[in-house]
Every structure is written in C-alpha cells, then in structure tokens.
Amino acid sequence: MAEEKVDVFFRGDIVAGENLPEVRERLQQLFNADDQQLQRLFSGRPVAIRRDLDREEGKRYQIAMYKAGAQVELRPVKAEAQQQGGGDTHEEDDDISLAPIGADMLNKDERAAQSAVEVDTSALSLESLGGDILKENEKTHIEPVTVDTSHLSIDDVPPQ
C-alpha cells in the first residue's frame, strides 16, 4: 500500500501568545516571500503551502511553521488525486471565502422575525458630566472623625 500523502495548508492562524508582525517577518524570511505573497498567506483563506507530500515530510513542514509561530493543517490527499499522480484537485478550497466584516450571514428568509420590546425608561434621567448621580436626600452623611495623634512622634533614623 502506498504511503499516505498530505497537503500542507495555512490560513493565517498563529500560535497562541505569538506576535503577528513577528510571525509575518519569520514567514517572510522562511519562504523568501514578498509583501504580496505574505498578504495572500494571511488572507484568511486556506493557502496550499505544499502539496502531495508524504506524511513525514508534511510533519516537518508543520514543525518548521510552528517554530515560526504559524499553525498549519495537514490534509490527506484524496485517493483519486493520488491515482492521477498529483494533489492539485482541491477546487473546493478555492470556492470558500470569508464574508466581509459586517456582512449578513443569513438570507432574509432565514432570519427569525423579532418584535420590538417596550421598555419603560420614564424613571431614568441623565446627569451632566461631573454631576452627582445621587440626589442630596439619597446620600449617606458620615460625620468626620477626629483622631488624636499628639502622643505620636517620629525618631531620627541614624545614618548607616
């Protein structure tokens, strides 16, 4: 039986506790990548780093990337891709993308109808900046306490 083949994918995930600019710099050096290649690596979309490797070689890539602060995924190459002699049949990865920030994730017909809720705010009021939130009759008054310190003194500290 042939040895299992894997593809190495990276989608921009970094190791917990790592600093993103430092990881980008290490990967730039590791791959001798330019800014455009780095942008593609950190796009959030899965990017194939290497394809059709034996599992041991894939693990070496995974360890090297981890040492640089990046997390990669090893995906088994599909059996039909191995039989065809190549691992470049991951078309489904090219069809997946992240929605832009703020985009609706559900279609209009998939959203649950929400009814408005009436909240009585008539008892609430705002106070100007720096104003007291409590009214005078709501405050607790504490009488000042006088402490006698006449019996206390400070001695000179001898030089060392």
Tokens (6 digits) for 117? 């809720």
Taking only the tens place, the pLDDT of each residue in 101-127 is 777 777 777 778 888 899 999 888 888
C-beta of residue 72 within 8 angstroms of C-beta of residue 64: no
Quick: pLDDT tens for 124-143. Answer: 888 888 888 888 888 888 89
> From CA 10, how far away is CA 32, in angstroms rounded?
16
Alpha helices in the chain (DSSP H): 20-31, 35-41, 55-67, 79-84, 91-94
CA-to-CA distance for 138 and 103, rounded, in angstroms? 47
Could you tell me where the DSSP H helices lie in 32-78? 35-41, 55-67
pLDDT per position as a tens digit, 8-32: 999 999 999 999 999 999 989 988 8
Q: What pTM was computed for the model?
A: 0.48
The values of phi and psi at residue 74, to 5°, are -95, 120
**Residue 90: its pLDDT value, please?**
41
Give the containing element (helix H, strand E) for 76.
Answer: strand 70-76
Radius of gyration of the chain (CA): 32
Which residues lie closer than 8 Å to 99 by C-beta, 6 or more apart?
105
Confidence of residue 157 (pLDDT cuts 50, 70, 90): confident
Structure-block tokens of residue 52: 């059709």
| Domain ranges across the chain | 5-89
Domain topology for 5-89: Ribosomal Protein L30; Chain: A, (3.30.1390)
Specify the DSSP element, H or E, that contains 11.
strand 5-14
- The pLDDT tens digits of the residues spanning 45-99 come to 899 988 999 999 999 999 999 999 999 999 998 755 555 554 443 444 444 555 6
